[in-house]
Chain A
Amino acid sequence: MSDFDESEWETVIGLEVHAELATRTKLFSSAPNEFGGEPNTNIDPVTLGLPGALPVLNEQAVELAIRVGLALHCTVQRSIFARKNYFYPDQAKNYQISQFDLPINIDGWIELPDGKRIGIERAHLEEDTGKSTHIGGGGRIHEADYSLVDYNRCGVPLLEIVGRPDLRNGDDAKAYVSELRAILVAVGASDGKMEEGSMRVDCNVSVRRRGETEFGTRCEVKNINSLRSLGRAINYEAARHVALIEAGEKVEQQTRHWDESEGRTHKLRSKEEADDYRYFPEPDLVELDPSAEWIERVRSELPSLPAQRRHDLVDRTGATPAQAGLIVERGLDALCIAAVDLGADGSRVVTHAEHNLADPRAVDLTPENLAKLTEMETGGDLSATQAKQVIAEMVETGASPVDIAKAHGFEAMDTDALATTVDEVIAANPDEWQRYCDGDGKLTGFFVGQVMKATKGQADGKAVSALLNARKS
């Protein structure tokens, strides 16, 4: 939801996602890459930028970067590292080794669950900074009484994934980040935990009147720590831009800080105040030129990716794209397909996965048990209500649906017994029956509910409806 007229204004969003790569050691040294730990324990001469220390590129980080690049349909190319120079205490050398002119991955795309393709400009390697804590002065470096620096994170490998400005609303932006996260996790490149900072999102937002081809002036929003914040920050920022323009003012290119508690952004600096990073090729490293064999080996080892898995699920089970998105996100797609392969009804399997299997333990269900459950439903051995109860217990205990149903005494009612019960319920509610027969559809639920009550839920709702319908005429 936006606070401006979306028929008149279009929001343009491009995201820069920093993902910490799940390597054993840092990008340029053998210091451990671990989250947490006592401050300044995962450090070494390279991390601290001691005189005479030299960087040596971590091959595992390169491999993970290639994996992500290929998963994002990028071209993996010869690349070089560059120094990005700026003074800040948590940057031990006062320069960051990054990639500038020639990044390792360029020109890819991500497919969102609804089929939209969002372009990826580049995905490059760089090192993370340490963490500063400013004591006093409202926590800002310039007013602080003193500052503390923890270099544990300094030098941790990052992949900066720069998306093209192809996103048009907060929901798509959230879907993009979710999808990217799913890809990073699927290829084992990152744990993708936004809350631990292992995945960080900077968001470029601009607005323009619909139909315009030029982009508006953008602002970069930092400090977005959750998907919810992402959506809120985009909507806030877009509305701010629209309000400025409608008031006859100009949007200034700025870097802004999202304040989650206030629900607004604050200006950090304008374009003019931005550092001149004085990028130049890092002379302590040689060019990175992965061989075609290396790239092809990584490609051949890539697991099936979320978009492909969604397509497969739709093809094999008849799931809708929306259902497929949810089921793949829950990691239940392989289970569903295996159950269908065992003869289960695709639509029932998908319905269970969508509505009854939110519990993370559901991934441990066996396809055999899931297929058996749907078979019992189809054969009329279980009502929908019973099936729901059985599947919950299957997730809980891992027991087979047959055993669970038996333990509860769930058995299919024979049709005669059900018909008798229906007749009894009709007889007991003559007024309602009359209104039902006069066409009051709302009473269907009433009668089904009465029959369910009488049969303690053993009746199949559909069979009851059919009997009621038959009696009416």
Chain B
Amino acid sequence: MTHDGATTYPTATAIAEAVAGGTLSASAVLDAHLARTAASEGTIHAFNHTDDDAARQRANEIDARVSAGEDVGPLAGVPIVIKDNICTKGVPTTCSSRMLDGWIPPYDATVVRKLAAAGAVTVGKANMDEFAMGSSTENSAFGPTLNPRDTTRVPGGSSGGSAASVAAGFAPVALGSDTGGSIRQPAAFCGLVGVKPTYGLVSRLGLIAFGSSLDQIGPLTHTVADAALVLDVISGHDSGDSTSLPTPAPRVSAHLDDGVAGLRVGLVRELMGDGIAPEVLASVNQAAEALVAAGAIVEEVSLPTIDYSLSAYYIIAPAEASSNLSRYDGVRYGLRVDAPTTGEMMERTRTQGFGDEVKRRIMLGTYALSAGYYDAFYGTAQRVRAVIRGDFDAVYNNVDVLLTPTTPTTAFKLAEKVSDPMAMYMNDICTIASNLVGQPSMSVPFGLDSDGLPIGVQLMAPTLGETTMFAAAAVLEAAQPLGSQLGSPRTLVANEGGL
């Protein structure tokens, strides 16, 4: 199935407005999305779990409350997909791992509570690379997700199920998590907007940890406005997450029309050359021109140490993961493979419960932290991280945002890189640095390649610079070439048939 590029799906902004205004029922919205899911989920495999009845009940409840004159919140009746590493009370949450197959969390993640309080309707749990380790969703224990734009290709990862579900019109919004690009890269591959917020802006409570100092939850949507709408709902301080920022969250939605007049935009030299596909570079340059046309000042800048970010990342993330994943031992929950002794039980459980990529990273991380190697590996990586942060600080003395490719290429073929971990890791070259420095970044669709595949460009901003970043993203979105994205903001009415 290759997408013809003509179909558009309704945006969250339009749905929420129509549902809250009583012109459209949450149930009708849901049914339209469920119908699309029924039609193509068999091909796409975006979900690990769906519960249509529960979603219908929830939509009915929203409709009843709207009828009763209640304000049901900014996401009234908006169908939403949750990545399967975000805990949902009473709903299986597996991280696409045999280890957690069938595990049912006794609590909702903070973001899930916030979405529910804003009137959203959860439709399912999205497939992903196991424990968020991967860039293609091929590392799922439950089989890969296909890219709705071209089903011979991967949707990216690790939030591939989230991206595919939005691209296929199963929901206008999905939550993903981003440790080294896991929201932005699939957003780019599927023609979506994907946001990695400032570290600490969105609570990690209830997000099953991969690399705790890098993980952030963020939205995948058709439009910049939808991403802003969702981010404004899920951001904010959470006393249950010690790394949650105490400062008030920026209200991004209010700044979408700020424009870029006078904005200083840096094109990162190191990410504009070797290893980046020419068509991708062309899109980035075109995007830069669009910003200039809107009044921005674009200049080339240098992040001389950004080349080291991949190395630092592949020490720090596996180190944290090796510790985060040690709790999966068969003792308390999840998979248990019985054996004569406790030690052997743990060993067999972990041997059978984890896939190859997860094991690879656990071993990498364990090694990097072990006595005698700690300083050479983990210690050095943390020092490199500090140096990279210094580079970013220096660059932001001169520019307000950075513009780069999101990925070196457009979506690659299924199985193309699965046996070559290094090639897979290189996919994250443009995205990893903003996780290391904890700063916000987002991918915005901008053009198609010669195969008709979407290209994403990345905007990065300093800590809590989301409002500026989104204002620039809105300008790019308005200037984007035809067909780069699937959704378009418009007013919906029940009889328009636009659902």
Chain A interfacial positions (CB closer than 8 Å to B): 45, 48-57, 83, 85, 87, 89, 92-95, 141-144, 147, 149, 276, 278-280, 283-286
Where chain A touches its partner, the secondary structure class is: loop
The answer to whether B331 and A149 have CB atoms under 8 Å apart is: yes
Contact of A95 among B95, B106, B107, B323 (CB under 8 A): B323
15 A–B pairs (Cβ distance < 8 Å), ordered by A:
A51-B93, A51-B209, A52-B109, A56-B239, A56-B240, A57-B242, A83-B323, A89-B329, A89-B331, A94-B326, A94-B329, A141-B341, A143-B341, A283-B243, A284-B209
Query: Would you give the shortest CB distance from B266 to chain A, in whole angstroms?
Result: 29
Bound Cα distance A470, B199 (Å): 94
**What residues of B have a CB within 8 angstroms of the CB of A53 in the complex?**
205
**What residues of A have a CB within 8 angstroms of the CB of B346 in the complex?**
87
Bound Cα distance A50, B326 (Å): 12
The answer to whether B242 and A55 have CB atoms under 8 Å apart is: yes
B463 at the interface (CB under 8 A from A): no
B343 at the interface (CB under 8 A from A): yes
The answer to whether B327 and A52 have CB atoms under 8 Å apart is: no
B352 at the interface (CB under 8 A from A): no
Query: Would you give the shortest CB distance from B380 to chain A, in whole angstroms?
Result: 13
Closest-by-CB residue of B relative to A30 is: B240
Question: Quick one: CB contact mask for B103-125 with A, threshold 8 Å, 1 for yes?
Answer: 10111010000000000000000
B212 at the interface (CB under 8 A from A): yes
Query: Would you give the shortest CB distance from B116 to chain A, in whole angstroms?
Result: 16
The answer to whether B327 and A51 have CB atoms under 8 Å apart is: yes
The answer to whether A54 and B370 have CB atoms under 8 Å apart is: no
The answer to whether B327 and A93 have CB atoms under 8 Å apart is: yes
Contact of A52 among B105, B319, B341, B374 (CB under 8 A): B105
Number of interface residues of B (CB under 8 A): 44
The answer to whether B243 and A284 have CB atoms under 8 Å apart is: yes
The answer to whether B342 and A89 have CB atoms under 8 Å apart is: yes
The answer to whether B329 and A50 have CB atoms under 8 Å apart is: no
The answer to whether B369 and A280 have CB atoms under 8 Å apart is: yes
B471 at the interface (CB under 8 A from A): no
**Given A142-B341, A286-B242, are A85 and B105 also a contact pair (CB < 8 Å)?**
no
Bound Cα distance A49, B325 (Å): 11
Query: Would you give the shortest CB distance from A146 to chain B, in whole angstroms?
Result: 8
**Given A52-B205, A278-B369, are A92 and B332 also a contact pair (CB < 8 Å)?**
yes
B320 at the interface (CB under 8 A from A): yes
The answer to whether A280 and B319 have CB atoms under 8 Å apart is: yes
The answer to whether B369 and A52 have CB atoms under 8 Å apart is: no
**What residues of A have a CB within 8 angstroms of the CB of B106 in the complex?**
45, 50
Contact of B107 among A45, A92, A286 (CB under 8 A): A45
Bound Cα distance A95, B322 (Å): 11
The answer to whether B332 and A49 have CB atoms under 8 Å apart is: yes
The answer to whether A54 and B87 have CB atoms under 8 Å apart is: no
**What residues of A have a CB within 8 angstroms of the CB of B205 in the complex?**
52-54
**Given A48-B332, A89-B331, A89-B342, are A278 and B243 also a contact pair (CB < 8 Å)?**
no
Name B463-482 residues within 8 Å CB distance of A. none
Closest-by-CB residue of B relative to A142 is: B341
B79 at the interface (CB under 8 A from A): no
The answer to whether B243 and A286 have CB atoms under 8 Å apart is: yes
The answer to whether A51 and B208 have CB atoms under 8 Å apart is: yes
The answer to whether A52 and B342 have CB atoms under 8 Å apart is: no
The answer to whether B369 and A85 have CB atoms under 8 Å apart is: yes
> Top 3 nearest A-B pairs by Cβ distance?
A94-B326, A278-B369, A283-B212
Contact of A278 among B103, B209, B242, B366 (CB under 8 A): B366
